[in-house]
Amino acid sequence: MARRGGLLHPEKPNGMTTAINIIDWIFIFILGIPVLYLFVFALFSTRRRREAYPPARRQRKFATLIPAYKSDAVIVRTAEAALRQDYPAGLHEVVVIADGLQPATLAELRKLPLRVLEAAFENSSKAKALNFAVEQLGPEAADAVAILDADNLAGEEFIARLNDAFDSGMQAVQTHRTAKNRDTDTAVLDAASEEINNAIFRRGHVALGLSSALIGSGMAFEYKWFRENIARCTTSGEDKELEALLLRQGIYIDYLDQVRVLDEKVQGQGAYYNQRRRWIAAQFYALGAAVRQLPGAVLSGNADYCDKLLQWCLPPRILVMGLVPLWAVVTTVFDPAASLKWWAALLLLLFALALALPDEQTDERLGRALRRMPVLFLLTLANLFRLRGTKDKFIHTEHTGAGSDAPGNNTGTRP
């Protein structure tokens, strides 16, 4: 027997061993590099930074935009939380973009001190709703704009803390979106995934001086910039498009870890499947559109943009979590020595996830929910073959209104 490429082969390698060798080399790039990437940023996410922004010297005018597509179960509660701000009412306008809401829901919203903009798009999307809103509001409506989803609950100092950041010169900010419900196994895993993303793609990135990733809601922008650039967003992944525009223009995206926005987590496998299909498609199309700018980003030393493209190249984390141990077992059968790197990669991956996951979510619920991982792995894998036609298609996630009240002062105020 002879060794070639680290795996065990007969003197005349057959088709099986050749295929294993080829796949092993491919997996080093599509699995090994993502594991190392996740580990590095998870490690840096443990570096807690001191609150960066002092109290603002002046109070800016804010508009909070809430696209609401068939969100009757949650939108009134979300709007009420958005209105309960420790901020002058005359300097903060809440705007609900109502698309497909029931007449009874519209009547409830109109009782509140906010603006309701009714829309009826042929093919609904958040980008269309946001474009419609800024067109209706006009160019002088605000100094800064905050974006919430129809199921988000913001704390009372949400706008005040955003104002602190903008007063210190920020143009784009992402807050800490976190789960408001963990009532099913799928919701528990979705909540854990969100916190891991917060640690790796937001807190870990800003700790290294790179921009935070956006997440679609709980984010805020300078109004003039947003109004000029949201019109350039045409796909279902408007947050990815906004990220690319910001980073290409050299605008840093900060992350406010202490400012919490509660978000409803998906409760069933069907909702998970649809949500991940939308997210994977958005990432795929964003990468395809943005990669053309890579040479210019490299030549100009735009590390933020280069990192973003690398981030969008990473396979979904649940696939990495499933394929690394699976491939470690396969290679162990053919050559235990060659499989050592994959067992080491698995340990590194588990260590990264342990660093990123907050202690309060490592409970019995999570332990029980892990039994659903194989099913979610297969659903995510199936999504890779169903991306056609999703670029301009809005895949709606149903909301049930599950979860607690808006975050209190312990999660959304100055420390």
pLDDT at 124: 80
pLDDT tens readout for residues 339-363? 899 999 999 999 999 999 999 888 8
Q: Quick one: DSSP state of residue 292? A: G
Is the CATH number 3.90.550.10 carried by domain 1-415? yes
pLDDT value of residue 236: 74
pLDDT at 55: 93
Domain residue ranges in the chain: 1-415
What are the C-alpha distances in Å from 114 to residues 74, 91, 126, 149, 201? 16, 12, 19, 16, 34
Mean pLDDT of 369-393: 72
Report pLDDT for 103. Answer: 96
Q: What is the pLDDT of residue 265?
A: 85
How far, in Å, CA of 293 to CA of 354, rounded?
Answer: 35
Confidence bin at 329 (pLDDT 50/70/90): very high
366 backbone φψ class: left, alpha, beta (φ>0; ψ -120 to 50): alpha
> Across-strand partners of 179?
263
**Choice between 394 and 332, residue whose per-residue pLDDT is larger:** 332
Q: And the tokens for 332?
A: 């162990």
Higher pLDDT pick, 403 / 219: 219
> pLDDT, tens digit, for every residue of 145-198?
999 999 999 999 999 999 999 999 999 999 999 999 888 888 898 899 999 999
Specify the amino acid at residue 299. Answer: L
CA distance 166 to 59: 10
Provide the whole-model pTM: 0.86
43-91, pLDDT tens digit by residue?
A: 999 987 766 799 999 999 999 999 999 999 999 999 999 999 999 999 9
Could you give the dihedral angle defined by the CA atoms of residues 333, 30, 384 and 201, in that order, rounded to the nearest 10 degrees?
Answer: 130
Q: Percentage of the chain with pLDDT > 90?
A: 58
Instruction: With a cut of 80, say whether residue 277 has pLDDT above it.
Output: no
For 1, 2, 15, 335, the CA distances from 6, given in Å and listed in that order, are 13, 10, 16, 8
**What mean pLDDT comes out for the span 131-151?**
96
